[in-house]
């Protein structure tokens, strides 16, 4: 019998989280044979793989797939290829789920014959340091829309209009055959690889719905892949690639005469462009991974570097002019103070007192 759900979990050097994650999925309310967990060990070097293989001897629903380190995108794509379930859910080993959440969501998917089901989540911090240095928008994982089945394009526009779009695959469930038929995959070789998967899964869906319950918990901790790549070349490269792919989707919508959809996608494309410029290095040719992309990416990156350099120069020039103006103002204020304390200033004020009073009276 085909399982109802495949839970795909990429893991890399996460031995301290394995048992807690398995305990979480055990509390999801499934009967034997209704589910499976596919743990993709992405080249761990801390014994994570060994622990997973030991646990797979205890749990018949756990399958372990080992591969050389290729990143989370490649690991999740491997999970899609290996999955036997009717539906897919992507679970990060260091995050959390409410008890019984996944069985409830699968029930909705089956009942409504959905391609994609979105649901809500919340943010939890591992430590005060994580909250102070890596603050998250507490509303990012919320679902504020009213439930109701609609096509994915309409769902995306509604999410954007509500400021409610979330690029995490951990707050959606998808139908396996739909993902494979539509060729929806995770980007590989970059961070933030999940953004493209979520966008395309959303846009390609014929039937999508939303569950506003906060069933997922995103845990922010120091040292995670997300926090380690908060800025720099990896962030630059990821948003460069994603920005181009989103722009292709926007152009596709325009060709189809779907202006509202194109505008909604364009808002995200603009955000990616801002991140690219913010993190653009002086020497884009030195960015690891850029040369592996298309020539178009390299040319585009070079153009962005020129724009970024120009913006930096303009910012520097503006800062220099502001500093000069502040210095001139300070000198002028010092000179005024000197004048106000001088005998000549006091005599001049006395001489001009009557003309000034007369002028004020005439104005009134």
136 and 186, same domain (yes or no): yes
173 and 70, same domain (yes or no): yes
261 and 220, same domain (yes or no): no
- List the beta bridge partners of residue 121: 216
Examine residue 193 and state whether it is found in any structural domain, yes or no: yes
244 and 225, same domain (yes or no): no
Examine residue 333 and state whether it is found in any structural domain, yes or no: no
Give DSSP secondary structure letters for 202-271: HHH-SSEEEEEEEEEEEEE-TTSHHHHTSSSHHHHHHHHHHHHHHHHHHHHHHHTT-HHHHHHHHHHHHH
225 and 241, same domain (yes or no): no
Write the CATH number for 186: 3.90.550.10
Count structural domains, the chain: 2
Provide the whole-model pTM: 0.78
In this structure, how many other beta carbons lie within 10 angstroms of the beta carbon of residue 144?
Answer: 12
Structural domain that includes position 195: 5-229
Examine residue 26 and state whether it is found in any structural domain, yes or no: yes
184 and 249, same domain (yes or no): no
27 and 144, same domain (yes or no): yes
204 and 80, same domain (yes or no): yes
In the prediction, which pLDDT does 303 show?
A: 47
Count the alpha carbons within 13 Å of 273 in the hemisphere toward its beta carbon: 13
In the prediction, which pLDDT does 223 show?
A: 66
3-class secondary-structure state, position 161: helix
201 and 247, same domain (yes or no): no
Examine residue 314 and state whether it is found in any structural domain, yes or no: no
183 and 196, same domain (yes or no): yes
Average pLDDT along the chain, 364 residues, taken 10 residues at a time: 96 96 97 96 97 97 97 96 98 96 98 98 89 84 90 96 91 98 93 92 98 95 57 77 88 95 90 77 60 48 50 56 66 62 52 47 48
115 and 224, same domain (yes or no): yes
Examine residue 304 and state whether it is found in any structural domain, yes or no: yes
207 and 302, same domain (yes or no): no
């Amino acid at each position: 019998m085909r399982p109802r759900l495949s839970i795909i979990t990429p893991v890399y050097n996460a031995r301290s989280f394995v048992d807690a994650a398995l305990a979480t999925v055990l509390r999801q309310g499934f009967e034997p044979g209704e589910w499976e967990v596919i743990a993709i060990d992405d080249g761990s070097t801390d014994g994570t793989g060994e622990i997973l293989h030991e646990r797979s001897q205890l749990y018949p629903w756990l399958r372990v797939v080992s591969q050389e380190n290729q990143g989370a995108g490649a690991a999740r794509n491997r999970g899609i290829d290996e999955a036997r379930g009717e539906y897919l859910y992507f679970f990060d080993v260091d995050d959390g789920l409410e008890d019984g959440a996944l069985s409830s969501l699968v029930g909705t998917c089956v009942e409504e014959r959905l391609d994609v089901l979105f649901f809500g989540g919340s943010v939890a911090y591992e430590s005060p340091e994580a909250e102070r240095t890596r603050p998250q928008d507490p509303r990012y994982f919320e679902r504020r829309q009213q439930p109701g089945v609609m096509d994915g394009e309409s769902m995306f526009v509604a999410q954007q209009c509500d400021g409610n779009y979330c690029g995490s695959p951990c707050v959606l469930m998808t139908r396996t055959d739909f993902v494979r038929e539509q060729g929806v995959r995770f980007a590989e070789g970059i961070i933030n690889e999940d953004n493209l998967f979520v966008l395309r899964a959303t846009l390609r869906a014929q039937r999508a719905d939303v569950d506003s319950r906060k069933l997922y918990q995103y845990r922010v901790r120091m040292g995670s892949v997300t926090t380690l790549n908060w800025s720099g070349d990896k962030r630059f490269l990821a948003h460069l690639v994603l920005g181009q792919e989103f722009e292709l989707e926007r152009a596709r919508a325009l060709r189809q005469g779907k202006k509202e959809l194109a505008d909604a996608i364009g808002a995200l494309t603009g955000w990616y462009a801002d991140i690219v410029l913010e993190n653009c290095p002086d020497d884009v040719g030195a960015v690891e991974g850029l040369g592996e992309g298309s020539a178009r990416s390299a040319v585009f990156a070079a153009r962005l570097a020129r724009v970024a350099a120009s913006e930096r120069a303009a910012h520097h020039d503006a800062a220099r002019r502001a500093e000069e103006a502040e210095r001139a103002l300070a000198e002028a204020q010092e000179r005024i103070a000197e004048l106000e304390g001088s005998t000549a200033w006091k005599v001049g004020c006395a001489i001009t007192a009557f003309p000034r009073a007369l002028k004020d009276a005439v104005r009134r």
